[in-house]
Amino acid sequence: MSKRGVDCEDASSSGQPPVKKVQFEPIRIGPISTLEEMDIKVLKFQNKKLAQRIEQKNQVEHELRSRIEQLEKRQTQDDAVLNVVNRYWNQLNEDIRILLQRFDAETADESESKNENEATTSFLMQLSTWDKEELDEKLANRVQVSKRAVAKIIQAFDRLVQRNEKITMILKGELNNSNGDPIPSLDEAVREANIEIQTENRNLTEQNTKLHAKYHSISLKISELQDAVNGKETEAAELRNQIDDLQYELSKVQSRNDKLENHLLEATEKVKLCQQMHTEDGKEKDVIKPEETMSNVSQKKLDDLQKDLEEAKELANNRLQELDKLHLQHREALKDVEKLKMDIRQLPESVIVETTEYKCLQSAYSVLYNENQLAKTQAQEFQSHLSASKNNQQRQIEMMETEELMVQKKLRGEMMQLEDALSQIRKEYEMLRIEFETNLAANEQTGPINREMRHLITSLQNHNKQIKGEVNRYKRKYKETSAEIQKLKKEIEDLRTMKHHHSHHGHHHHHSTSSSSSHHSVNLSSASSGDRGVCYYLLHWMRGGGGSLFTREHMKIGGAVECGSRLLNGLHS
């Protein structure tokens, strides 16, 4: 029980049905006293099995024989159809050859005649020897031979038509002889008869072309019908396959029934043996009851199996009836196809001419001819345009290639120049980098000096502002003194004018000029007193230790430093 449970779990987990195992029923030989009895029972069992196998083999042989008979009948039918096709095809080729000989046309090639002779001989033997690929090639070659023969007939007919037209033209007197001499006139009756025959010939040629068109349309219809027949044949093949499957299943059921019958026979024999053994002990009634039950069970199984067999036989009979119906329909369809072929070959002219399909084909042919002419003209124009465009394109390509070479040369020269400039720039960059590094080192050393100079410059700027204030004040005083000087000059001039007249007035004028000059020197001394204070401040700072750092280069920063330098120059001088 545990083993079966594990198998069920594995099957449910994998999602697949469990694998069916073939089980052989054990056979009980019974009590054995000697080896001879065991050999006898084993031989009996083997004989039973061999008899069963022989019966199965006989049934299979009977079924295979019936199947072989059916296949042989089908093969004979197929051979008959192939022979009919071959005979008509050979007759067609013979008729075409006779027509060619009648028209005095050129004979076929040697290869074509050889192929025709081979095709007209043992056709079925060749089919049996050829493979599928060879069969397709040979049949295609034969179709090509027939097509070429038909084409030669059409060419010969066209030649005859052209020849007849030339003859009619000569008879009418429209053409001259090859030597240039006019042909003598014939009887009018002969000419009229010739003209009538020519018109009839033309009508016949037109009717022939119409018949060819009708034949083409009817051949298309036949091909459609052939496709329908092929579809029916595929359906019939599918039904045959289904019948084969049903027959296979029926054979399985029959073999199973045979096995069950053998098991029933063995069971009945065992029951009889048990009855014989129990009759010796006087228990016949107890033995009859299980025999009846076993027989009842086996009878039920046999009834079920017989019902299944009857149903399978009914299904098989229905399938066979359907297949027979399909075979009959196929044969009727083949007969209809043959009738249609015969009707196509013997169609009247009036029917072909009056058909709408012929008229449609004629109109379509005219339309297609016009379209073909237009397409030819357009193709010629396109070819001329293409040739012109190709020439232009080649010229443009050559110009572009030359321009590309020139541009490449220019680019190479520019690249060389740029590489030289880049090398020079790199050298200059290295020099500037070295100078920058030296300047950085010098700036790092002169950093505190610059700070002190900045403090000095700021102090000097402040002092310069104070000096500027004083200068503005002195400018004001200068303006006032200049105004006073102008006044005094006027007074001096007045006094000079008066001096000639009065000497007293001249003495007084001398006294006033001396006082004004003394006043002006006082102003100058007072104006220079601020500058002297600045100079004293600078001298004091230089004496205190700042003179070593204070130079003219540092004094050139700003307007205040210029003033300081001027003061220093004045002091040194």
What's the pLDDT tens digit per position in 112-171? 444 444 444 455 566 556 666 666 777 777 788 888 888 888 887 777 788 777 777 776
- Angle (CA) 155 158 162, round 5°: 140
Q: How far apart are CA 45 and CA 31, in angstroms?
A: 15
Owner of token pair 């008509």: 88
Q: How far apart are CA 446 and CA 549, in angstroms?
A: 11
Cβ pair 317, 250 in contact under 8 A = no
298 vs 536 pLDDT, higher one: 298
Mean pLDDT for the stretch of residues 456-468: 92
User: What pLDDT is stored for residue 104 in this prediction?
Assistant: 56
pLDDT at residue 397 tops 80: yes
Q: How far apart are CA 108 and CA 260, in angstroms?
A: 73
Within 10 A of 214 (CB to CB), how many other CB atoms are there? 20
The token pair that represents 547 in the structure block = 């003179």
Per-residue pLDDT of 64-76, as tens digits, reads: 888 888 888 888 8
Annotated domain spans of the chain: 34-105+118-176, 372-465, 469-498
Nearest to 454 by CA among 299, 304, 558, 368: 558
Cβ pair 122, 70 in contact under 8 A = no
Could you give the angle at which helices 447-499 and 558-572 cross, rounded to 10 degrees?
A: 70
Determine which of 34-38, 96-100, 239-243 has the lowest per-residue pLDDT on average. Answer: 96-100
Owner of token pair 């007035």: 505
Per-residue pLDDT of 197-246, as tens digits, reads: 888 888 887 888 788 777 777 877 786 787 778 778 878 888 888 888 88
Q: How far apart are CA 467 and CA 560, in angstroms?
A: 10
Q: What one-character DSSP code corresponds to residue 556?
A: T
- Angle (CA) 559 560 561, round 5°: 90
Q: How far apart are CA 309 and CA 418, in angstroms?
A: 104
Half-sphere exposure at residue 229, Cβ-oriented, CA atoms within 13 angstroms: 18
Q: How far apart are CA 78 and CA 134, in angstroms?
A: 20
